[in-house]
Amino acid sequence: MIVHEILNESTKVLEAVGIPSARLDAEVLLAFCLSCDRLEFFKNPEMQLSLTQQAAFQKLIDRRLRWEPVAYITGRKNFWTFTLEVNKDVLIPRPDTEVIVEEVLDIAKKSEVAGIKILDIGTGSGAIAIAVASEIPHASVMATDISPAALEVARRNAESMELQNKIDFRHGDLLEPVEGVFDIIASNPPYIGAVEYKELPEGVRLFEPREALFAGKSGLEFYEKIIYQAADHLKKNGWLLLEIGATQQKDILRIMENSGFYDNIEMRRDYAGLPRVIKARRKVSG
């Protein structure tokens, strides 16, 4: 078979089970299978596939038909300006999370602190910590996670970008493994509540780590803990930045205000116009 035919055929099969990005997924998987760029298919639609190549591609399509996310099949995901290794032990980093990276960089740029200290709680693949470390040469970054397997992936990702000496990875529960104070604490913690968890798309619910998603009955468990624990680890006038679910803004603002630790509380929307990041400044007193 030739590329053009095999892509049309596999797109149809993926569409038939309801996969929304069928054509793109087929192209990405074929490019991965042939170790080439997707552009090759436009330049060369008549390219002939060997039987071995066809069989290997079919195996990838079969995995996608069972809703396995493309990033787990290929083992990689683009984030910020780089490509991260991902596997079933880490959440696949989402484009929305680039908003919190932008906010961290914005604060860091305005800061006059030499050797700015930044903490990423629940680092997963290392996405936020690595993006920040790659952009701010003078930053020292710490990143924590409760999952040793996720930390292994994050460490490998840092090494592949030669950032391992700039990021101190720590294993443990939220801020428990952390000592010292920071200029910025950022986190994209689990934030899916019990009802929403049941309603997640199959590809997410069946494949992504539950401990990266599930956050107790209300979905707010981690925010509450982080908001209180971070107060002890922020410099005066330091910033806490939290990625939030689109419907959680009110509840999280309430927790922040009730804590009495923060002022200058602001919300930033993502590029779809949904509430995505809350940032707040540690008060000088309180």
Regarding 3 and contact with ligand SAH (CB under 6 A), the answer is no
Q: Which of 10, 140, 147, 248 binds ligand SAH (CB under 6 A)?
A: 147
Phi, psi dihedral angles at 130 (to 5 degrees): -70, -40
Q: How far apart are CA 183 and CA 281, in angstroms?
A: 10
Q: What tokens appear for 38 in the block? A: 């997707």
Q: Residue 15 CA to chain centroid, in angstroms?
A: 26
Regarding 145 and contact with ligand SAH (CB under 6 A), the answer is yes
Instruction: Collect all residues with Cβ–Cβ distance below 8 Å to 249 and sequence separation of at least 6.
Output: 267, 275, 278
Q: How far apart are CA 180 and CA 177, in angstroms?
A: 10
Which range in 49-57, 107-115, 143-151, 257-265 contacts ligand SAH by CB under 6 A? Answer: 143-151
Residues in 210-239 that interact with ligand SAH by CB under 6 A: 211-212
Residue nearer to ligand SAH on the CB measure, 61 or 130: 130
Q: Which of 31, 47, 146, 265 binds ligand SAH (CB under 6 A)?
A: 146
Helix (H) or strand (E) holding 224: helix 221-231
Unique residue bearing structure tokens 């192209």: 27
β-pairing, 117-121 with 182-187? parallel
x/- mask, ligand SAH, residues 28-67, rule CB under 6 A, reads ----------------------------------------
Q: Which of 14, 19, 166, 189 binds ligand SAH (CB under 6 A)?
A: 189
Residues forming contacts to ligand SAH in the complex (CB under 6 A) are: 91, 93, 97, 122-125, 127-128, 144-147, 150, 173-174, 188-190, 211-212
